[in-house]
Amino acid sequence: MSEKESSEEKSIKPLPLDIDDVIRFFESVTPDRICGHCDSASFVINADPNSKKHARLYAIPVFREKNKTAPVIIVRCDNCGAVYQHGYGHIKRWIDENPIEKFSDPEGDVEHSDREDD
């Protein structure tokens, strides 16, 4: 029981991030991204093994804060395998400030635009 309590103290559980939103973040914030080691522009974002639609979060130790971790997302160069960590908080904040525009308008005529027979 004490083990559970201490793990709850360590860090607040971050909400999962939709991998499409994470891709939007990188395309918007780092559009000219190239690998610092090999100049490749091809990267892979690790997906959550339990839910492929979410980005996998990793916990890194917080400097000088015992038993405290911070969540990060890992982006890997598809060519040389170099790994880049990006702070979860930065990405989450950007996604919250830049929500995707969803067209859930019930009167929207886009959905049936190609059914005009008769």
| Residue 74 binding Zn ion, by CB under 5 A | no
The H or E element containing residue 70 is strand 69-77
Cα–Cα distance, 89 to 106 (Å, whole number): 34
The residues in 25-44 that bind Zn ion, with binding defined as CB under 5 A, are: 35, 37-38, 40
Amino acid at 22: V
Torsion of CA 6, 18, 94, 9, to 10 degrees: 0
| 80 lines the binding site for Zn ion (CB under 5 A) | yes
Task: Work out whether 79 is an interface residue with Zn ion (CB under 5 A).
Answer: yes
Query: What is the closest distance, in whole angstroms, from the C-beta atom of residue 83 to Zn ion in the complex?
Result: 10
Question: According to the binding rule CB under 5 A, does residue 22 interact with Zn ion?
Answer: no
Residues that bind Zn ion (CB under 5 A): 35, 37-38, 40, 77, 79-80, 82
